[in-house]
Amino acid sequence: METKVSLEGLLHPRIAAHCTHLYMDSHFRHAAREAMTQVELALKEKSGVKDKYGTRLVNSLLGKGMGIKLVVPFGPEMQKHAHALFESAFSYYRNYAVHDGSEINDQRCLRIMILASELLDLINASEVSFADIGGVKGLVSNGLFSNQNRISDFLSFLSGYVFPEDAINDD
C-alpha cells in the first residue's frame, strides 16, 4: 500500500508559507536559504536576542555561558545534543546556502526544508530561561528592563498579588 504525503504535510507551517513557492518555482538555493533564515528568526523571536546571527546566536542560546537560554525538552542531558544539532545545521546548511548554494538541487533543498521544520518544532517546544542572564545587571543589559528601578517597581507590583496555582492548600 502506497502512502502519499503532501509537501505541506512534511513542513512546519512557517517553512511551508515562506519556502514552498520558491521550491515549486525551482528556486532551490533561495528556498533552502529562506528555510534556515526562518529558523534563525524564530530563535530571535523566542529569545528576544537581536544582536547575534548564525552559529554565534546558536552558541549563545543553546550553549554554555551567561545569557538568555533556550532549554530544550527531554531533560537537561539533551541540551548539549540540541546545541550540536543546531550548530551543525547552521554551520553546514545555513552558511552554504547563504554564501554559495550552487549545489543545492531539489532533493537537497527539500531535505534542508524538512530539517528546518524539525528545528522550528524544537524551538517551539523549548522554554526561555533567564537563570544564566547575570542577575539584575543582566536583565538590564539584555534589554528586559530599562534600568534597575524598573525591576524593583515590577517586583513591588507583583508582591501584592496571589497566584492561585502557587497557593498551598491544607485540606
pTM of full prediction above 0.95: no
- Listed in sequence order, the residues at least 6 apart from 52 whose beta carbon sits closer than 8 Å to its beta carbon are 60
C-alpha cell at 80: 548539549
67 close to 142: Cβ distance less than 8 angstroms: yes
Q: What distances in angstroms separate CA 105 from CA 13, 18, 137, one per listed residue? A: 22, 18, 48
Nearest Cα to 94, choosing from 62, 54, 128? 54
Residue 152 bridge partners (DSSP): none
Task: Give the lowest-confidence range in 15-24, 48-57, 111-120, 138-147.
Answer: 138-147
How is the chain split into domains, by residue range?
A: 7-132, 135-163
Which 8-state DSSP code applies to residue 25? T
Number of Cβ within 10 Å of residue 29's Cβ equals: 20
**Helix (H), strand (E) at residue 158:** helix 148-159
| 22-50: pLDDT as tens digits | 999 999 999 999 999 999 999 999 998 98
Number of Cβ within 10 Å of residue 113's Cβ equals: 27
pLDDT-based confidence at 150, cuts 50/70/90? confident
